[in-house]
Chain A
Amino acid sequence: MEHYTMNLKLKIWRQANRDAKGAFRNYEVSGISSEMSFLEMIDVLNEKLIENGDDPVAFDHDCREGICGMCSMYINGRPHGPWEGTTTCQLHMRAFHDGDTIVIEPWRANSFPVIKDLVVDRSAFDRIIQAGGYISVNTGNAVDGNAIPIPKDKADASFAAAACIGCGACVAACKNSSAMLFLSAKVTHLALLPQGIPEHDSRVKDMVERMDKEGFGACSNTTACESVCPKEIKMTNIAYLNKEYLLATLNNK
């Protein structure tokens, strides 16, 4: 791919803290390489801001290799920007052209309050996982990995669901601010495996209850979540979650 450099206009949400009133600020960056990642482009902007004595743009990031789920940014009307199945840190500047204007907003959901600028508080997700996203085992000696046979299709489906990195893009994209895609991934990947079955009724009920308490909206199956998920978690997980929940309710556990 041809290498090129570009000058860009940026429109970024700035907000001093959770309670402050935020607003968009306009910036310009020049000489951006098409090979840079999106976060590196913001690093360039921040270095300039720091040199000028301004407050750099706060944004979440950690691994910068698409596995931690921290880099939450809503870029030009789409969580994680224009590329499908890609986190913001893996988005490269060749997705943009010289002279483009890029609008960057934080995730918008009452359950994800803004901490500063583009950083939001996603601890609601942690509390949902704490409510049941685990299996209780007594850790004795390491067991033989092949002692419990698991059908290949179940293992594959479970593994695909376990790929969720808890980034929150699904909530950000959903008109209802629903966390169903995230929850469905967290419930399904355990419910499909033999080790997850003993606790599957209480797990789904506790996690759904926690999700509602955290103030996420109710799923109406619009599929916006699926289309933005960087790990391509599928809506079928939501159907599976619904089945799990229905059966758990009928079992009254």
Chain B
Amino acid sequence: MALTGIFLILFLVVHVGLNACIWNATGENSDHGLMFNTAANFMGSMVVIRILEIGLFVFIFLHVIQGIMLVMYNKQKRNIGYSVPYGNRGSKWYSRSMGLLGTLILLFLILHWINFWVPSRFTGVNGVDGQPLEMELADGEKIHNLFALMQITFQNLWVVIIYVLGCISLAYHLLHGFNSAFRTLGVHNPKYMKLIQSIGYGFSIIVPFVFAMMPISFYLGWVS
């Protein structure tokens, strides 16, 4: 859990950094997604990244399977429950709901893959009229205009709401997961634990917040 979780956290760092390029498309000097599209194209065409992508899917798969097995294993350990639950007095609700939060993230991920990953890898990045969405670079090369695809996708308020809920689930999942992973790996020195805890809280709030601002920015027309 800890190793796959930390790998996924590292992936998030790259993913959030790259996607933040969309905010180069704001106001008067908007590049209309050029920087974002170029970065996405660069990532998509590197062999190393393609290999890492396979690794990413393997890790998500392992993480999910291990998570489901863990939850099921622990469920069998108390056949008769308490009539008065201990509740939130000694632990956070999200620490006890990692399976649920993970499932919500997975549901969000499926929509996310259908929205962007499947078109960009397989079915083609097309507009509503079925015409390919492309962007021409200075040297004449035509690349996928994923920026335009985001613009279209995030016109739908429901999609935006589901993305924001997905990000909130991720935030809570990480609020527990980040620290938990390092405890699982045996970090016990109080100084390091404090540091990791602070970084963990910061990361868990900032990264999902930045992700959530992306669909919101498109929906409200802050980037164009």
Bound-state CA distance A223–B79 (Å) is 21
Interface bits A207-251 vs B (CB < 8 Å: 1, else 0): 000000001111011111111100000011111101111110000
Indicate if B131 sits at the interface (CB-CB under 8 A).
no
Q: Is the CB of A220 within 8 A of B98?
A: yes
Most chain A beta-carbon contacts within 10 A, residue among B76, B79, B176, B186:
B186
Indicate if A164 sits at the interface (CB-CB under 8 A).
no
Indicate if A176 sits at the interface (CB-CB under 8 A).
yes
Indicate if B156 sits at the interface (CB-CB under 8 A).
no
Q: How many residues of A contact B (CB 8 A)?
A: 42
Name the one of A77, A110, A227, A244 contacting B84, with C-beta atoms under 8 angstroms. A77
Bound-state CA distance A182–B187 (Å) is 18
B180 to chain A: closest residue by CB: A221
Indicate if A17 sits at the interface (CB-CB under 8 A).
no
Name the one of A24, A223, A236, A242 contacting B190, with C-beta atoms under 8 angstroms. A236
CB distance from A50 to the nearest CB of B (A): 26
Q: Is the CB of B82 within 8 A of A217?
A: no
CB distance from B214 to the nearest CB of A (A): 31
Indicate if B185 sits at the interface (CB-CB under 8 A).
yes
Indicate if B77 sits at the interface (CB-CB under 8 A).
yes
Indicate if B89 sits at the interface (CB-CB under 8 A).
yes
CB distance from B193 to the nearest CB of A (A): 7
Name the one of B82, B180, B186 contacting A220, with C-beta atoms under 8 angstroms. B180
Indicate if A37 sits at the interface (CB-CB under 8 A).
no
Name the one of A74, A175, A236 contacting B188, with C-beta atoms under 8 angstroms. A236
B73 to chain A: closest residue by CB: A218
A227 in contact with B183 given A77-B82, A111-B77 (CB within 8 Å): no
Q: Is the CB of A218 within 8 A of B188?
A: no
Within 8 Å CB of B190, what residues of A? 236
**A residues in contact (CB < 8 Å) with B:** 24, 74, 76-79, 103, 105, 108-111, 173, 175-178, 215-218, 220-228, 235-240, 242-247
Please name the 6 residue pairs, one residue from A and one from B, whose CB atoms are nearest each other, closest first. A243-B186, A227-B90, A77-B84, A239-B188, A176-B74, A177-B77
